[in-house]
Structure 1
Amino acid sequence: MNLIESLQWRYAVKKFDEHKALSKTQIHTLKEAFNLTATSYGLQPLKLVIVKNKDIQKELVTHSWKQQQVLGASHLLIICIPTKYSSVEVENYFNLVKKIRETPDTVINPFKKFLTAEIDKKTQEELLVWNKNQAYLAIGNLLTVCAAEKIDSCPMEGFVPEKYDEILKLGAHNLTSTLVLPVGFRADDDYMKDLKKVRKNIEDVVIEIN
């Protein structure tokens, strides 16, 4: 399949085949894809929690509007953001830039000073919103990679973050759950799998300015 054919193949799975599981190689690919996601300023204010535990998945169904994909999935991916965020992350980022690229301080410092000021002037509520936007970038990237790798998925906003945080003990990691992505393989009897994809005409969603 080319990429467009893969995206045509993709849909939000309603029922997973519980007897099929992603391989270690496939999970590694998703980890790499998550880590390579574009984020604002490259700061990566995200973490990915991967759950492969049927007892935990079953418990989480209750807090996912009873969506059975949470239990039926091979793995449950949860995109998380920090509950508290500060310009310390800017310091950490530029330390990594220096380590990897060997960029001198004279080049780094002006942008580092600007970015530190930008973070420091925002409230925690503003930073939560900003970081949540980065989570949407990540899930979009993961959905495309899943399609390309013939991995089925079902993106979810319909869950109770506070309950996920409690069950997964995310508070201990300064994290809160933001988006959920069950992944696996579609069941043969998923009623959605053979339905035609419903999308607007390209002319209705794209404006070209020459």
Structure 2
Amino acid sequence: MTPAELVSALNWRYATKSFDPNKSLSDDAWQALLDSLVLAPSSFGLQPWKFIVVSDPEIRERLRENSWGQAQVTDADKLVVFTSRTDMTPEDIQRWVNRLAEVQDQAPEDLKGYAGIVEGFCQRMSPEARHNWNIRQTYIALGQFMASAAAIGVDTCPLEGIDPSGYDHELGLAGSGYATCVACAVGYRTEDDKSAARPKARYVQSDVISER
């Protein structure tokens, strides 16, 4: 992808309001988007999230009721619910350190100093602050997911107009250590979605980017 192609894809994307329920992603396109979630960056690499792909039509109907009736929840080919860890415990950190050691062919004991730095950073925050930090990390994954979708010509719509507690109930998240923070509908726009034809309104570069 050239720089011009990237900018073109980002100009092409918008928060799709009307999805064509008869259009589906190819297996390759969907796997690439799943990979974009797995590869999303996070602070210290902790990945304080789980992404729930909701395919059951009945569950999606109930989630729509917890989304102010937004049709994207049921009409889009895919629906991904982004959940964040409600805390970040020493056990969470050790689990990540174990995985890091496995991938990098090290002994977990060799990463003891690193684990101590991460744990010290996390323990300076309250549980509520850690949860909010995890939510902010999860939005990084959402951004990468949406940009990746645009790059391969797939439409998305981030959904914050939802009742997170209602989603948690429908998805059985109570006691799981995870809670809903945002959802994203994925698929292809209908030809008559008026939002697609609206000019993209953004501040000019000099209003939002400065140099020192």
Structure 1: segments with no counterpart, 5+ residues: none
CA RMSD between the two structures: 1.6
Shift of 1:107: 4.9
Shift of 1:167: 0.7
Q: How many residues align?
A: 209
Question: In the TM superposition, what are the counterparts of 1:16-165 in structure 2 within 5 Å?
Answer: 16-103=19-106, 107-165=110-168
Separation in 2, partners of 1:172, 1:104: 32
Shift of 1:104: 5.1
Separation in 2, partners of 1:34, 1:49: 11
Separation in 1, partners of 2:129, 2:181: 15
- Structure 1 counterpart of 2:100, one-letter code: V
TM-score, structure 1 normalization: 0.93
Report the counterpart of residue 203 of structure 1 in structure 2.
Answer: 206
TM-score, structure 2 normalization: 0.92
Structure 2: segments with no counterpart, 5+ residues: none
2:184 partner SS: strand
Q: In 1, are the aligned partners of 2:6 and 2:151 still within 8 Å (CA)? A: yes
Separation in 1, partners of 2:144, 2:111: 28
Runs of 4+ aligned residues of structure 1 deviating over 4 Å after TM superposition are 104-107
Distance 1:27 1:171, change over 3 A: farther
2:197 partner SS: coil
Shift of 1:123: 2.2
Report the counterpart of residue 185 of structure 2 in structure 1.
Answer: 182
Shift of 1:49: 0.2
Distance 1:193 1:91, change over 3 A: same
Separation in 2, partners of 1:154, 1:197: 15
Report the counterpart of residue 9 of structure 2 in structure 1.
Answer: 6
